[in-house]
Structure 1
Amino acid sequence: MEAAEDREHRHAPPGGAPGGGDGGPQDERRPRRPRPDPQGPAGDAEPDDFHPERGRLVLPRGDRRSEDRPGTDPPPQEGRGFGDRRVPAEQGDPVRPSSSRRIALARLLEEGRGAELAPDPVAFPHRYSDPRDAEAAAFLAATFAFGAVLQIRNFLSRLFDALPPSPHAALTGAEPVRRRSVAGLSHRFISSDGVYRFLRCVRGAYLAHGSLERLYIAGRGEAPPDLRRDLARFLDGFRDRWGKSLSRERDFLFPRPERGSACKRHNLFLRWVVRGPDGVDLGLWSAVSPRDLIVPLDTHMARLGGWLGLTRRKTPDWRMAEEITASLRAACPEDPVKFDYPLTRLGILRICTRPRRGVCGHCPVASLCSLRSSAAG
């Protein structure tokens, strides 16, 4: 029987009442506007990045620019080419693999080798040589990696400026981060008080366990690895330290994968600290195997997953993330998520021009794309 708390957090299907259907990506959802009690009990949230339109995915608001209409594709901007990125060389139901997919994905990795990390937020933990600082910076950067790229970068710059010179030392020192240090520091719908509470939760986790990896291991206990369960327990370790107020901000910053959330930002954090080191991901943890990671499901990965035949699902939730991962695992069983960074860059760097302009530019996975094949037909 479903608990009342579970019903409260169930998502509403398009056009329906809350309480039924598959859970959507809660970590990509925006809290409702506050009621008379600004932070009353958490309710259903509306999507932040995904906007359903007649049962399909459409461009998020941040991608809808005046230039996004059919027409001649402009010359690529300097520094925005596909080569300007540094990329290293069982769950769900995978779409049937093919040799052409393996070849196209290998080409994707090869063409993406080499350049700077900007504008990806993973550049922030790369600033620190101490693994303790890199781990702390990775969790902070991944947690707030939502919104427009420039907006994320500006917020994170201000956040790390408030934690000098070492984020780990600032979070674990004898004196906690003071509220006035983050006064006025907000990110989209996360208030400065929410940022302060978040930092206190991270501090509590460090003081109790010594590192975030040890917190993750403690949640697993003696059970065999199960990433969805272990991630849920990991995030509970922060939620339990939050307190009673600002519940909507808490639920966004620490979502619940067991309720269907895709947990994009926290799967992104796991990718950073588990894979590598390879110039992009950091390779800080040994508690999780790269083969068990789940792809961080953002708008770009959800759309590309459908176009490239990596998933048949339409709802961008944990199950879609599992299905895309399973399809990538068929191409590389030991490290399926290594394709995440170069794939999402196709959208972030606007290399994929077909949905905006009606024409295809250079793209290493164009041979797999249903948009291109439908245009050719």
Structure 2
Amino acid sequence: MKFEELKIFLDEKADQYNHPGFIENDPIQIPHRFTLKQDIEIAGFLAATISWGNRKAIIKSAEKMLDIMGNTPYDFVLNHSEKDLKLIENKSIHRTFNGEDFTYFIKQFNRIYNENESLEVLFRLNESETSFLHSVERFRSSFLGTEKHRSHKHVSSPYKNSSTKRIIMFLRWMVRKDKRGVDFGIWENIDQRYLSIPLDVHTGNISRKLGLISRTQNDWKTVEELDAVIRKFDENDPAKYDFALFGLGVTKELL
């Protein structure tokens, strides 16, 4: 397809899948159960962190974490006891993300929310930045600290050429504003024009079928390659094409 034809096609697909019905079968339904900003952030970050594998399993595991926190994530993060954490440590959560990891995340959230009103502060871009490359790495440093822990593997690093799919997806949820009812757009100080597509096997394969990218790896360099193309389609809202690529992947329309 030529540029204009491809843009029209992807605009139509983005419009088709970017609606409230999308929420029902997607991990984004987890933060949609809350209205308090901090609850949305915590529930969203946890759901995004375990977003690999079957979506039904992801949602079920995220619900398990919400149940453990009494379905009040922010209150639990701020007011949990050591006894609460001890009860979590040996629990099974989601595949390789276990109770020890969940406990570690709760402790890190506690520290961060005692210092900041919102996670947004940790992701703000500097004036010269046009992607979240350095922002994500600054967040990793703030969230994980310097002490080595097994949980560090659950927060990917673009500096190590990871696509950081789960963090990029979380950023789309928090930053993107379009009044369609799916993404939250609750972060006011980060411009959505710098968002990227959460790149995984499915969105990568669809992007290659459409000729959007040529690299064979699903890594940060490929994220940047895809950025260069989708920002030509819509420089103010490039991440909307995540709905198009994801939807095409789920329906297998291009197979």
Counterpart contact for 2:122–2:138, Cα < 8 Å: no
Counterpart contact for 2:208–2:214, Cα < 8 Å: yes
Residue 207 of structure 1 is aligned with which of 101, 106, 114? 114
User: Which residue of the partner structure matches residue 70 of structure 2?
Assistant: 164
Count of equivalent residues: 251
Report the 3-state secondary structure (helix = DSSP H, G, I; strand = E; otherwise coil) of the residue aligned with 2:186.
coil
- The question of 1:186 aligning with 2:87 is answered no
Counterpart contact for 1:185–1:195, Cα < 8 Å: no
Q: How does 1:297-376 map to 2 (within 5 A)?
A: 297-348=199-250, 351-352=251-252, 355=255
Equivalent-residue separation in structure 1 for 2:254 and 2:188 (angstroms): 40
Equivalent-residue separation in structure 1 for 2:230 and 2:193 (angstroms): 11
Q: How does 1:24-103 map to 2 (within 5 A)?
A: 98-103=3-8
Q: CA RMSD in A?
A: 2.1
- The question of 1:275 aligning with 2:169 is answered no
Counterpart contact for 1:137–1:167, Cα < 8 Å: yes
Gaps of 5+ in 1: 1-95, 356-377
Counterpart contact for 1:162–1:182, Cα < 8 Å: no
Equivalent-residue separation in structure 2 for 1:214 and 1:347 (angstroms): 33
Equivalent-residue separation in structure 1 for 2:159 and 2:55 (angstroms): 28
Of 206-215 and 258-267, the range deviating more from structure 2: 206-215
- The question of 1:255 aligning with 2:161 is answered no
Residue 149 of structure 1 is aligned with which of 33, 38, 55? 55
Per-residue CA deviations over 1:241-266 (Å, capped at 9, x if unaligned) read 6x4342xx42x212211121110000
How far 1:311 moved relative to its partner?
A: 0.6
Runs (4+) of structure 1 exceeding 6 A deviation are none
Equivalent-residue separation in structure 1 for 2:127 and 2:7 (angstroms): 34
Equivalent-residue separation in structure 2 for 1:230 and 1:108 (angstroms): 30
Equivalent-residue separation in structure 1 for 2:16 and 2:217 (angstroms): 30
* Greater fraction of residues in helix: 2
User: Which residue of the partner structure matches residue 19 of structure 1?
Assistant: none
Counterpart contact for 2:14–2:243, Cα < 8 Å: no
How far 1:139 moved relative to its partner?
A: 1.1
Give the 3 Å change call, closer, same or farther, for CA 259–142 of structure 1 in structure 2: same
Gaps of 5+ in 2: none
Residue 232 of structure 1 is aligned with which of 134, 137, 143? 137
How far 1:318 moved relative to its partner?
A: 0.6
Of 205-214 and 175-184, the range deviating more from structure 2: 175-184
| Percent of aligned positions that are identical | 27
Please identify the structure whose Cα radius of gyration is greater. Answer: 1
